Chain A
Amino acid sequence: MTKALALLNDKRVRDVVYQAALLLGLVALTVFFVRNASENMVKAGIASGFDFLWRNSGIDVPFVLTGYTRSSTVLDLFWAGVANTMLVTVVAMVLATALGFLVGIARLSSHWLLSTVAGAYIEFVRNIPLLFFVLFWYFGVIAALPAPRDSVSMFGVAFLNNRGLTIPLPEAPAVFRWAVAAILLSWIAQALVAAWARRRKERTGQDAPVLAIGVVLVLVLPALAVTWASLATGWDVPVLRGFNYRGGFVVIPEFVALLAALVTYTAGFIAEIVRGGIQAVPRGQTEAAAALGLRPGRILRLVTIPQALRVMIPPLTNQYLNVLKNSSFGAAIAYPDVVSLFMGSALNNTGQAIEIIAMTLAVYLVIGLAVSAFMNWYNARIALVTR
């Protein structure tokens, strides 16, 4: 008895007991839930398993990046949704960062009105639920755009109306794969050249003609590749017939509205991060740079932002993850993302709630992990550069 008590008083034993108890409790809880679920499902006559993924989906999707059609499987529908989620997320991340930096820097401007306007924007945006933005942009975008008959024509090949932006589609997309490959190659080349030039400058102090090479590699070569590809293929140019333009690819207004909502909303948060990051850079740094004769623009680019980035990366990562999660708000306005297509349409047709919700959550967790991993790698890289 006393021995048992003594054992209980031993910290190591107690720790093991605590942890075992916690683990046991969790396992018991899980078993309890799973058993109830399977019992309830059998009672309710709900099918289970993943067979439904290979069934014909039969759902029309107005905005498809993958090869999905209505005769594809439910699994294809899932991937079409994932692709749409990723598209809007990535584009929104890039644009929100740009807008956020602009607003954040404007907030710190010495111009009183500019910084006040930026401050008002931030306070306005941060304190309103995102759903309002999504609805506002959606109905705002639709109201602002003309009906198909009065479309805004862009050089007679692309047309903007309240059914979306219709752009021509190449008839032989394979050509474009080559063009994309060429563009990627030239960009990689540019990255290598830049790295080589930086190392040389650190070693010898000499400037290489990076700018000229860069223009050729980043702009001229890709432009040539795209021009060649566009000439090498025929084009499916949209034409107005009946209700709307036929042919081409349609960028739907739901995409534009969701994108605009995510960008304007997230930019308010990124602006605050940028402001905090820049303010965290000691004032002596800018003063020293100014004493060396650098102009304000170059001080910002070469001295302030690289140092501010170190403070900013962790909260920026959080904002990027928020963009990913917030892209699910598209379900409120019929943007065919994974929540809307898979957790909406597919769930309704198959009724298999548990499997579908689990797959949907997994998508967000996996993409989120990838974003975090990338940002951690980037963080480590810039930490290394600043030494």
Chain B
Amino acid sequence: MSAASASLWRQRLFGSPATGVVTLLLAAGIAWLAIPIIRWALIDASWSGTTRADCAAGGACWVFVKARFGQFMYGLYPQDQRWRADLAGILFALATAAIVFAPPRLRLKAAIAALVVLPALGIWLLAGGFGLRPVETREWGGLMLTLFISVYASLIAIPLGILLALGRQSQLKVVRLVSVLFIEFWRGVPIIAVIFLASLLLPLILPGGVGIDRLARAVIGLGLVIAAYMAEAVRGGLQALPPGQREAATALGLTYWKATGLIILPQALRISLPAMTNEFIALVKNTTLVLVVSILDLLGIAQASLADPAWVGMNMEAYVFSGSIYWLICFALSRWSRHLEMLGRRQHR
């Protein structure tokens, strides 16, 4: 550290007596909190071995996470078929990258192509059939399922949310009323109740004999709620556009849908992308609630693995490990959302 930066830090932390006192108090607090955690998680922790007996008392038993790693990632998905989940994940990641980094001219086409092809491809890869060994949804689980629910629920939520946001701005009274009622209803009720509702009510209100997969029900329930939140995010973008845009488009003879699709939405969506990303983060976090209907997502698998008599008392390990995965995903997404926001602000200037 150079002398200049050392003096800068001294100024920052001990510039005045009051500053110094605050610094010392905070440092003591951090030390009090962090030292036991670090000791538990790193220094006293056991890393190697295969059973509970290989773990020293007092520290974290990461052996447990190692032994259960496959389940944390894939649930009970058959081991020799797990490459399919990996492949689906890679395809989605590639598609996202392609959309983000494609030259602007091709971006829309890439997005549409991805949206048409990928969801079906993903379901085929995961569920099987048509040449692949079928794997039932009850065998899915873990991180794979968390991501699946998040992605497919937002595949319902984003288009529906855009329609609802447009509906809320519509000149047609009935359309506006229906959109507002839909949005406010789903935004007003707790998601835990919605998932419950979807799992209990969907089979009741459909004609007898029509069964919907348990997982599909949870995805539909979450998709409907998040659509309402997405609609509000898109509305922010729509309201940020000067009304002149639509007026000009209409004056050029464009129909409502053409003006919306070519002029309004591309601009509005760019503005609301950060807000939509935030809703997606909320969605990822809310997928944990599917465990109330016994679907084993990442947190569900973590809890289920606690019931294993061979690994009793691994609560902290299970929660810390699964919690950090959620944190990493959500933190990365929130950084990206902030980056988009900055980008948008710069472009506006």
Stretch binding the partner chain, chosen from A32-40, A189-197, A219-227: A32-40
Q: Which residues 14-57 of A have a CB within 8 angstroms of B? A: 15, 18-20, 22-23, 26, 33-34, 36-37, 39-41, 43
Q: Which residues of A contact B286 (CB under 8 A)?
A: 129
Pick from B187, B326, B334: contact of A132, CB under 8 Å: B326
Given contacts A22-B175, A129-B286, is CB(A40)–CB(B189) below 8 Å? no
Please determine whether B189 and A325 come into contact, CB atoms closer than 8 angstroms: yes
A172 at the interface (CB under 8 A from B): no
Interface size range on A against B = 35 or more
Report the bound CA distance from A332 to B190 in whole Å: 14
Stretch binding the partner chain, chosen from A156-164, A206-214, A354-362, A378-386: A354-362
In the complex, the chain A residue whose C-beta lies closest to that of B207 is: A36
Report the bound CA distance from A22 to B12 in whole Å: 63
Report the bound CA distance from A314 to B175 in whole Å: 25
Report the bound CA distance from A343 to B208 in whole Å: 24
B228 at the interface (CB under 8 A from A): no
Q: Which residues 1-45 of B have a CB within 8 angstroms of A? A: 12-13, 19, 22-23, 26-27, 30
Please determine whether B201 and A354 come into contact, CB atoms closer than 8 angstroms: yes
Helix, strand, loop or mixed for chain A's interface? helix
Given contacts A326-B190, A365-B189, is CB(A127)–CB(B23) below 8 Å? no
Pick from B172, B190, B292, B327: contact of A128, CB under 8 Å: B327
Q: Which residues of A contact B30 (CB under 8 A)?
A: 117
B56 at the interface (CB under 8 A from A): no
A14 to chain B, nearest CB (A): 10
Interface size range on B against A = 35 or more
Stretch binding the partner chain, chosen from A93-101, A108-116, A240-248: A108-116
Please determine whether A19 and B190 come into contact, CB atoms closer than 8 angstroms: no
A287 at the interface (CB under 8 A from B): no
Q: Which residues of B contact A354 (CB under 8 A)?
A: 201, 204
Please determine whether A364 and B189 come into contact, CB atoms closer than 8 angstroms: yes
Question: Quick one: CB contact mask for B281-313 with A, threshold 8 Å, 1 for yes?
Answer: 100011011001000000100000000000000
Please determine whether A128 and B330 come into contact, CB atoms closer than 8 angstroms: yes
In the complex, the chain B residue whose C-beta lies closest to that of A139 is: B315
Please determine whether A127 and B327 come into contact, CB atoms closer than 8 angstroms: yes
**Most B-side CB within 10 Å, residue of A39, A111, A117, A327:** A111
Please determine whether B178 and A41 come into contact, CB atoms closer than 8 angstroms: no
B193 at the interface (CB under 8 A from A): yes
Pick from B171, B188, B207, B334: contact of A365, CB under 8 Å: B188
Please determine whether A357 and B196 come into contact, CB atoms closer than 8 angstroms: yes
Given contacts A357-B196, A361-B193, is CB(A40)–CB(B204) below 8 Å? yes
Q: Which residues of B contact A328 (CB under 8 A)?
A: 190, 192-193
Please determine whether A18 and B190 come into contact, CB atoms closer than 8 angstroms: no
A353 at the interface (CB under 8 A from B): yes
B23 to chain A, nearest CB (A): 5
9 A/B residue pairs, CB under 8 Å, sorted by A: A22-B174, A36-B208, A113-B12, A128-B323, A128-B327, A354-B204, A357-B201, A364-B189, A369-B188
Q: List A residues at the B interface (Cβ < 8 Å).
A: 15, 18-20, 22-23, 26, 33-34, 36-37, 39-41, 43, 111-114, 117, 123-124, 126-132, 135-136, 139, 321, 325-329, 331-332, 339, 343, 353-354, 357, 360-361, 364-365, 368-369
Which 10 pairs show the lowest CB-CB distances between chains A and B? Answer: A127-B330, A19-B174, A328-B190, A33-B205, A325-B190, A129-B285, A112-B12, A129-B288, A368-B188, A365-B188
